Amino acid sequence: MEFPAAEPYRIKTVEHIRRTSREERERILERAKYNLFNVRSEDVYVDLLTDSGTGAMSSEQWAEMMRGDESYAGASSYYKLAEAVREVFGFEHFLPTHQGRAAENVLFSTLVGAEGAGKLVPGNAHFDTTKGHIEARGARAVDCTTEEALAPETEYPFKGNVDLAKLRSVLDAHPGAVPLCLVTVTCNSSGGQPVSMANIRAVSELCRARGLPLFLDAARFAENAYFIKTREAGYADRSVREIAREMFSLVDGCTMSSKKDGLVNIGGLLCFRDEELMRKAMPFNIMYEGFNTYGGMAGRDLGALSVGLREATELPYLEARIGQVARLGNELVRYGVPVLHPFGGHAIFVDALRFLPAVPREEFVAQTLAVETYREGGVRAVEIGAIMADRDPDTRENRFPKLELVRLAVPRRTYTNDHMDYAAAVLGSVYERRERITQGYRITREAPILRHFTVELEPAGN
């Protein structure tokens, strides 16, 4: 007899959440200058802003936190983490950092340098902080994502793939200008879409033939490995951890925000295959993060991460995790909401251009939809569109990406399926009145880089 799938865990602690009225939310949005990062979490009913550091830790992780010691140098928890990194990733050399963008900072300080004018870092749809670190140094991030990623309704299984022809063209046109290539797994900015093993291998061969370092942004490595297992021929009978080890065997290192597939609330990793390259990075890690055996993290957090890396590669957990995201996607489809297909591993991405065709692009369509979602039912999401794309570093004109998306990022082991159904119903309600939404927002204040975190807006009709 077939039984319905259930989560492979029990709830032992609960956090109360409060539902606000629509009138309250109107005032909250006005105070927040229509930037959802400025909304207090206590004023959010279902928080899908991010899956970064918002998940629930297991009893084993909490127990390990209590065992960890807080030594400045050589804490026992550091050595437990080193063992987990070897076991799960296969890397002998790593530096802990306090989060993923810190690992990026150390890596780019090492390979790009402080003055990166004329340098290029190709990859697949670099995420906001990655692109910010590159552009802040005067270098340029070059998007080489496959064209299939720009077709929201198609079911192409690996929309995170690198277009090898695009990458080869960049390398041919700019010899000596590329300090490294970076592949993000899964690819957040293209809808949480996975990268196939065949594609990672092909990129690796291309980079190695030219003597270029290849790094993974491995924040969601376990979810990518799960999709390889379930979508790529020849991997169905391989374990998630075996697939992950093969992925990492093809690259020279990785950055990782451990707040995703490390299942912790704080932490990051910078891993290397080459010890000498790690030693070049060490001074930057000490300057920016702390000593090399704690990297800005408390010993207890190192211990929790050592457990979380292993738990994140367990198949029952991943089946439940990705299944819950798919449930949200299927519910949205039932309401007619246009979403990116196939569903990603950590989030559902709503196609804002199809959802709100009457809102002018210069009035930030995806941000408008994210604001309306909070206004409707207290569900917080995030814009992956023109505001996040920032301005062109040279012309200072707004960059309008081909896709304007609203990301509904699902925290790990945090919400029930009823919360997913509620969030879908809220979007469905907004969709019913979509034709009446014809006006967006204009920027009143913005930072010169990574503006979406602190941008201030007002309704365009004011």
Model pTM? 0.95
State the catalytic residue, choosing from 5, 72, 236, 421: 72
pLDDT of residue 68: 79
Whether residue 452 lies in the annotated active site:
yes
State the catalytic residue, choosing from 93, 260, 341, 346: 260
Whether residue 217 lies in the annotated active site:
yes
Do residues 36 and 10 make contact, with C-beta atoms less than 8 angstroms apart? Answer: no
Do residues 214 and 369 make contact, with C-beta atoms less than 8 angstroms apart? Answer: no
Tell me the CA distances in angstroms from 173 to 57, 154, 166, one per residue in order: 47, 32, 11
pLDDT of residue 246: 98
Give me the torsion for CA of 379, 380, 385, 390, rounded to 10°. 160
State the catalytic residue, choosing from 127, 226, 422, 441: 127
pLDDT of residue 462: 72
Whether residue 221 lies in the annotated active site:
no
Q: How far apart are CA 387 and CA 121, in angstroms?
A: 22
The per-residue pLDDT string of the chain (462 residues; one tens digit each, 9 = 90 and over) reads 777 778 899 999 999 999 999 999 999 999 999 999 999 999 999 999 999 999 999 999 999 999 878 888 889 999 999 999 999 999 999 999 999 999 999 999 999 998 989 999 999 999 889 999 999 999 999 999 999 999 999 999 999 999 999 999 999 999 999 999 999 999 998 899 999 999 999 999 999 999 999 999 999 999 999 999 999 999 999 999 999 999 999 999 999 999 999 999 999 999 999 999 999 999 999 999 999 999 999 999 999 999 999 999 999 999 999 999 999 999 999 999 999 999 999 999 999 999 999 999 999 999 999 999 999 999 999 999 999 998 988 899 999 999 999 999 999 999 999 999 999 999 999 999 999 999 999 999 999 989 999 999 999 987
Per-residue pLDDT tens digits for 192-218: 999 999 999 999 999 999 999 999 999
State the catalytic residue, choosing from 47, 128, 261, 351: 128
State the catalytic residue, choosing from 93, 229, 419, 452: 452
| 398 contacts: CB under 8 Å, gap ≥ 6 | 362, 386, 389, 391, 392
Structure tokens at 330: 């299927």
Residue type, 13: T
State the catalytic residue, choosing from 217, 261, 301, 351: 217
State the catalytic residue, choosing from 219, 225, 281, 347: 219
SS3 string, 27-91, reads: HHHHHCCCCHHHCCHHHCCEECCCCCCCCCCCHHHHHHHHHCCCCCCCCHHHHHHHHHHHHHCCC
pLDDT of residue 394: 87
Q: How far apart are CA 374 and CA 367, in angstroms?
A: 11
Domains by residue range for the chain, with CATH: 22-51+314-459 (3.90.1150.10), 59-311 (3.40.640.10)
